[in-house]
Structure 1
Amino acid sequence: MESITGLRERKKAATRQAVHEAALRLTVERGIENVTVEAIADAAGVSRRTFSNYFASKDDALLFGEEQQTRALVETLRQRPPDEPAWTALLAAAGTLSARADSPEERARQVRSRLAVRHPSLLARQMGNHVALERDLVEAIGGRPGTERIRPQVYAAAFLTALRIATRQWAEENATGELMDYLTEIGAEFARPFE
């Protein structure tokens, strides 16, 4: 029974990933306003109903990869040593998820970032995802060293701001370097005192 369940879950994950990739590809080729759910479903080789079983909208399909990354970030943060300082743990968790600059994951991240900047509806959805991520980060860093001086909410907000700035700069420059290099540099600026 477990192998059947495992097979079903892998098949669902593959379908979800195929729909996400089709949404990204079509949006880059045609522009977000010229892509329909039906076109995405056709490109992924699934029915419109199957699309709806996995995603509520094309924006959801476009941002799926980012949502996967944020879940992985929070889980990785939770697995960091509990005595590791909050800021160090946040940057280290991000570093373990950073893929090579030329990897498909990083290229997809750049595409999503550029699309969100150009399309307000996608940016709004992305910001909504970040609010949920901030809550999860606050919970995951609570009680770590440093949180007795600086609230976990401040760490989470500062980290997400550093990540947003790094991602935007990296995407706008069409960088061939690693996103983590940008995040490390900007994170170091955040770690300095303001005065």
Structure 2
Amino acid sequence: MVFVPETVKGLRERKRLETHRALATTAVRLVAERGLDQVTVEDISAAAGVSSRTFFNYFASKEDAVVIAYADHVERSRRTIERFLAAPKEVRTPRAFIDAIKEDFAVVEENREEWLGRMRAIQENPSLHSRVVAMNHQTIAPTIEAIARRTGTDPEADLYPTLLLTTIGAAVNATLILWYQRDGKMSALDLLDEAAETLLAGLPEPGGRAH
């Protein structure tokens, strides 16, 4: 067995993440410029300065390169769950969940043009929707289990954990779509907070009309 120093492992991991990011951002940029159908794996690889063989070490398809922004997206989800579980018990569970994902929304705002391009590609190409679902699939069960743990419910027998995840997922999608439609000119974090407050208030009808 060959011993590999931790510093070398760290450098390799950083290089892996950087190459993934370079390919992902390049894919989004080219698709924004030309359209999904007019971009090939070879185009993305050449523009990112790597071979097509290297591309396939990171992505199964050009569609995945557009959708999967970060190689460590599962690890990022794990950290979000940790933040959620660490929230004080006096904070309502939906609010704790929303607060936990704010760090992810900060990344969206920090990389505004990239995410506008990604959202545009997803909105204009239905074929990308299934890739988004596939990317998120492996994070669903751990998140439901975390909600159940915090609320003392059974993830298999009780509705609440799955209902909360689905509801907040819809709020996140609505936030991103509206942010994209406004060309990123309004804070995604502010929109997310507005969505959270609306949900926590029981989704009251605009204008204050009685139900």
Kept in 2, the 8 Å contact 1:166–1:179? The answer is yes
- Structure 1 residue 12 displacement after superposition: 1.4
- Structure 1 residue 52 displacement after superposition: 0.7
| C-alpha distance in 2 between matches for 1:118 and 1:74 | 30
Residue 20 (str. 1) matches residue 29 (str. 2): no
Equivalent residue for 1:135, pick from 130, 135, 141:
141
* Aligned residue number for residue 39 of structure 1: 43
- Structure 1 residue 178 displacement after superposition: 1.5
* Aligned residue number for residue 166 of structure 2: 157
- Structure 1 residue 20 displacement after superposition: 0.8
- Structure 1 residue 156 displacement after superposition: 0.3
| C-alpha distance in 2 between matches for 1:180 and 1:38 | 36
Aligned residues: 194
Structure 2: state its 5+ residue gaps: 204-210
Equivalent residue for 2:98, pick from 68, 91, 115:
91
- Structure 1 residue 177 displacement after superposition: 2.0
- Structure 1 residue 166 displacement after superposition: 0.8
Kept in 1, the 8 Å contact 2:29–2:114? The answer is no
Q: Check 1:146–1:91 CA distance in 2 against 1; reply closer, same or farther (3 A cut).
A: farther
Q: Percent identity?
A: 30
Structure 1: state its 5+ residue gaps: none
The correspondence of residues 7-86 of structure 1 with structure 2, limited to 5 A, is: 7-65=11-69, 68=72, 71-80=75-84, 81=86, 83=89, 84-86=91-93
Q: Check 1:56–1:140 CA distance in 2 against 1; reply closer, same or farther (3 A cut).
A: same
- Structure 1 residue 74 displacement after superposition: 4.0
| C-alpha distance in 1 between matches for 2:74 and 2:134 | 13
- Structure 1 residue 67 displacement after superposition: 7.0
Structure 2: which amino acid aligns with 1:61? A
Report the TM-score, using the length of structure 1 for normalisation: 0.87
Encode CA deviations 1:86-128: one digit per residue, 9 max, x unaligned: 2122111122333277622x33222211211110111221133
- Structure 1 residue 192 displacement after superposition: 2.7
Q: Check 1:10–1:66 CA distance in 2 against 1; reply closer, same or farther (3 A cut).
A: closer
Structure 2: which amino acid aligns with 1:88? R
Q: Which stretch shows the higher mean deviation, 10-19 or 73-82?
A: 73-82
Q: Which has the larger radius of gyration?
A: 2
Residue 112 (str. 1) matches residue 118 (str. 2): yes
Kept in 2, the 8 Å contact 1:170–1:179? The answer is yes
Structure 1: which amino acid aligns with 2:191? Y
| C-alpha distance in 1 between matches for 2:175 and 2:194 | 8
- Structure 1 residue 158 displacement after superposition: 0.5
Residue 121 (str. 1) matches residue 127 (str. 2): yes
Structure 1: which amino acid aligns with 2:114? A
Structure 2: which amino acid aligns with 1:7? L
Structure 1: which amino acid aligns with 2:172? L
Report the TM-score, using the length of structure 2 for normalisation: 0.81
Kept in 2, the 8 Å contact 1:134–1:160? The answer is no
| C-alpha distance in 2 between matches for 1:127 and 1:112 | 15
